Amino acid sequence: MSHTYDRDGEDSFNMAYFGDHVHLATFNQILEMDEDGEHDFSEPLVFNFFEQADETFENMDVALAAEDLDELSKLGHFLKGSSATLGFTKIKDSCQVIQQYGHKQTVEGTAEPDKAVCLGKIKEAINTLKTDKIDLEKTIKKFFGIEDK
Locate the domains of the chain by residue range: 3-32+39-143
pLDDT in tens, the chain (149 residues): 334 444 444 444 677 788 889 999 999 999 999 987 788 999 999 999 999 999 999 999 999 999 999 999 999 999 999 999 999 999 999 999 999 999 999 999 999 999 999 999 999 999 999 999 999 999 999 888 887 65
Q: At what angle do helices 69-86 and 89-102 cross, to 10 degrees?
A: 160
Is-above-0.95 flag for pTM?
no
Please check whether residue 74 is in contact with residue 86, taking contact to mean a CB–CB distance below 8 angstroms: no
Other residues' Cβ atoms within 10 Å of the Cβ of residue 77: 16
Other residues' Cβ atoms within 10 Å of the Cβ of residue 93: 18
**CATH of segment(s) 3-32+39-143:** 1.20.120.160
pLDDT at 22: 94
pLDDT at 145: 87
Other residues' Cβ atoms within 10 Å of the Cβ of residue 113: 8
E-assigned strands of the chain? 3-5, 11-14
Please check whether residue 3 is in contact with residue 13, taking contact to mean a CB–CB distance below 8 angstroms: yes
